[in-house]
Amino acid sequence: MLEFGSETLVITHDSMAEGTHWPESADPFDVAWKLVAVNLSDLAAAGAEPIGVMLAYSLGDSDGDGRFIEGLRAVLDTYDAPLLGGDTIRADGPRTLGLTAIGRATHTPVPSRSGAKVGDGVFVTGDLGQAMLGHEGIEAHREAFVRPIPLLETGRALAAVATAMMDISDGLLLDATRLAKASEVTLSLENAAIPVADRARFDDCIRWGDDYQLLFTAPSGANLPIRAHRIGEVTARSDAPILLDGAPVVGSLGYQH
């Protein structure tokens, strides 16, 4: 965050690598969409509205580059986030793309990971695991994986009531752990309350990531401006940053960079 006159700017940067974040066979339109969307999701978690983006792009074949530009134009127009500048290079081998998004905070203090208070409720905005199923080829969930939706309006609506907030990019368990550690609390979560796209694959859904739903805490009894699922409660800090049905989590928490 950066104080700029009477405003607070929110600045975020994410990179995506061919072979890790998208296969060589991916539609460049979708690659462009996702690159922008994951950055705008960070702005959503701060309750910010986009000012614009800056792109670092590695040139490839002309047809693929043209298709990327189509996707870039579509996503930037959809979320009213103009391209402010950036840089292009030509390089051999798998490509790495980077994007910086700049936003304007709509509420101060700006929501962060570190404000959760004992007694707050823990909430998530939607079903987890849809991107995982889309990645596996289930057509009904394909869009969730290739063209995620940054919850910008939802984040702005929550900015005044959320005590802590972040987007879920690396899986609910790992990101909830990050929020709990930043706030120096424990998040006590209830398995049955967590919304997932496939209940039979519950463990995978809460670990896989790429969901870009918002995870937030808010005072118990708060009048939330949007529909959200209450999945637990903030409790005093214990040896485990998160608990599932009262027990520490065993095994992998989610996607580790």
Q: Is 65 annotated as a binding residue?
A: no
Instruction: Give the model's pLDDT for residue 115.
Output: 95
227 known member of a binding site: no
Which tokens in the block code for residue 22? 């998208």
Q: Which of 244, 252, 227, 22 is nearest to 131 (CA)?
A: 22
**Domain over 120-248 is classified CATH 3.40.50.300:** no
CATH level 3 topology of 2-105? 60s Ribosomal Protein L30; Chain: A; (3.30.1330)
Q: pLDDT tens-digit profile of 185-226? A: 999 999 999 999 999 999 999 999 999 999 999 999 899 999
Chain segment 133-192, per-residue pLDDT in tens: 999 999 999 999 999 999 999 999 999 999 999 999 999 999 999 999 999 999 999 999
The answer to the question of whether 210 is labelled as a binding residue is yes
Q: Where are the domains of the chain?
A: 2-105, 120-248
Whether 14 has a binding-site annotation, put simply, is yes
- C-alpha to C-alpha distance for 29 and 85, rounded to whole angstroms: 19
Secondary structure string (H, E, C) spanning 120-136: CEEEECCCECHHHHHHC
Same fold flag, 2-105 and 120-248: no
Closest alpha carbon to 247 in 203, 201, 190? 190
Q: Is 63 annotated as a binding residue?
A: no
Do the annotations mark residue 170 as ligand-binding?
yes
Q: Is 169 among the annotated ligand-binding positions?
A: yes
Q: Which amino acid is at 26?
A: A
- Tens-place pLDDT, residues 239-253: 999 999 999 987 667
- Asked if residue 120 belongs to a known ligand binding site, the reply is no
Written as six digits, the tokens of 39 are 């950055």
Contact 152, 45 (CB under 8 A): no
